[in-house]
Each structure stands twice: as structure tokens, then as C-alpha cells.
Copies of this chain bind each other. A is one copy, B any other.
């Protein structure tokens, strides 16, 4: 999916919401824990309930990998079930040397039909470039993350700049803004203003709204641009909005609430 198609979808749905399918077999409602395909069935109902309000789904691979082969089967079925016009992100945070990176790119862009994969650029440009060979596919690089540990290395001073700013500057030369997005945690809205000075036109994937407490209004004030320029992810606050049999309906309500808020915020930048 290319940038124009993402922006068109944002304008049509009046939303830049991404729903995170961090589906934990231990957290799904009791009646689905005993279902032979509980994780897929859960995702299917979540997708049905939220697809009108969201422009992207983010599949956190860890939750599927930890289930072994049946987890990958659930991932594949989930991916097939997501409507074609919705952006599909593998939140996998891979990163390895060229030879191995090619296999990771193959995994997410050929074996599985994701539009984008999150990547860790610590090992440098040659670990990212194999992903940029694919047309209309996206590498989403970790810049400044939402967790406390971001202070350990990401915000350290490298000369005049912070490490994550160095990542933004250097990596934005490896490919175009039609190929690269950045992960910026919602818990650091003030940093988004600085980040927009370095990458004014790139899309930012912003996790941390909802359970992690990020402030949607502030993020949008600094982060929205004429293309939209933001994909705001909420996972737990939507998919676990209720632990009962009404989980999908409640998830839909949470997604709609965020979509309505986003509609208002989008109207302000027009």
C-alpha cells in the first residue's frame, strides 16, 4: 500500500487509528479460551467490530510466536481476514545483517502479505536496506519508544544530538518517505515537536495511547501533517475493553470513541 492510499483511507474514514492485535491467549474471554481457534476467533470478531474506525492493524508477532506453530497459523488466518484496503503492520522489531535481513523481508513481505514491518536499526543501514527493495512496502524504524528503558540509550547524547535523532537523520537518507516510517512513543508528545523538525513529512507510528497513557491531543498538535502523517496505535485499551462475551462490541465502542476524537483533530488541521 502506498502513501497516497494510506492518506485516502485516513480522509475517508476520518481516522488515523491503528488497532494492535496483541492477542494474548491468557487474556481472551473464557468462552474463547476453550475454542479450538480461540485467538483467530477473537481477532475475527475484533476486526469485524473495529474495521470501520481503523485504517491499520498491527500484529504483535511475539504473542503469536509464543504459541508455536498454532500461533503462526492464527497469525496467517488473521492477516487473511483483514480487509484489503486496511494497512497491515507486523510489529516484529527485527534487525540483522544483509543476508539474514533478506530472509526477514521475505517473511513479512512475501510469505506473509504485510504492508509494513517494524525494525530496529541499531546494527545500521545494511540491516534495513533489504526491506526497501520492495515496492509499496514499508520499513517502520524504532526511533523514540514509549517505555522507561528509552532513557538507557535512545536519548543519550551523541555529539550535539540524541541517539534517536541520529537514527532519524541517518536513516531518512536510506530511503524515501514513501518507504520509511518511524515509531515514536505516545508517552513523549513533547519530543514529537522536535522529531517533526527532522522528518516533517514522514509517517509516524505512535503506540502508547490507551493503556500506556499517551495524550492524543498533544500528539496530534505536534504530529499531524497534511497527509495525516500519524498512525496512532491502541492495543489493550481496545481489544480488552471487556473480558466478557461482549468484548467485540466494547472494542468497537472504544475504537469509535477514538475515531470520533480523531475526526475532530483532523478537522482542525484542514
CA distance A151 to B124 in the complex (A): 7
The 4 closest A-B pairs by CB, nearest first: A124-B149, A124-B152, A62-B103, A126-B149
Number of copies: 2
- A170 contacts the other chain (CB 8 A): yes
- What is the minimal beta-carbon distance from A26 to any residue of chain B, in angstroms? 10
Q: Which stretch in A42-50, A94-102, A198-206, A223-231 binds the other chain?
A: A94-102
Residues on B with C-beta less than 8 A from A97 are 145-147, 149
Q: Which stretch in A68-76, A241-249, A256-264 binds the other chain?
A: A68-76
CA distance A100 to B235 in the complex (A): 12
Q: Specify the chain B residue showing the minimal Cβ separation from A60.
A: B100
- A138 contacts the other chain (CB 8 A): no
- A221 contacts the other chain (CB 8 A): no
Given contacts A104-B62, A158-B163, contact A67 B153 (CB under 8 A): no
Given contacts A103-B63, A107-B62, contact A153 B122 (CB under 8 A): yes
CA distance A62 to B65 in the complex (A): 13
Interface residues of A in 159-206 (CB under 8 A from B): 159, 163, 166-167, 170
Encoded as 1 (CB less than 8 Å from any B CB) or 0, chain A from 53 to 91 comes to: 000000010110111110011001000000000000001
- A150 contacts the other chain (CB 8 A): yes
Cβ-defined partner of A150 (8 Å) among B98, B123, B148, B166: B123
Q: Specify the chain B residue showing the minimal Cβ separation from A70.
A: B69
- A121 contacts the other chain (CB 8 A): yes
Do residues B103 and A124 form an inter-chain contact, with CB atoms below 8 A?
Answer: no
Given contacts A72-B69, A157-B159, contact A126 B111 (CB under 8 A): no
CA distance A51 to B55 in the complex (A): 50
Do residues B152 and A125 form an inter-chain contact, with CB atoms below 8 A?
Answer: yes
Given contacts A62-B96, A158-B156, contact A125 B104 (CB under 8 A): no
Residues on B with C-beta less than 8 A from A145 are 97, 123-124
Interface residues of A in 97-123 (CB under 8 A from B): 97-101, 103-104, 106-107, 110-112, 120-123
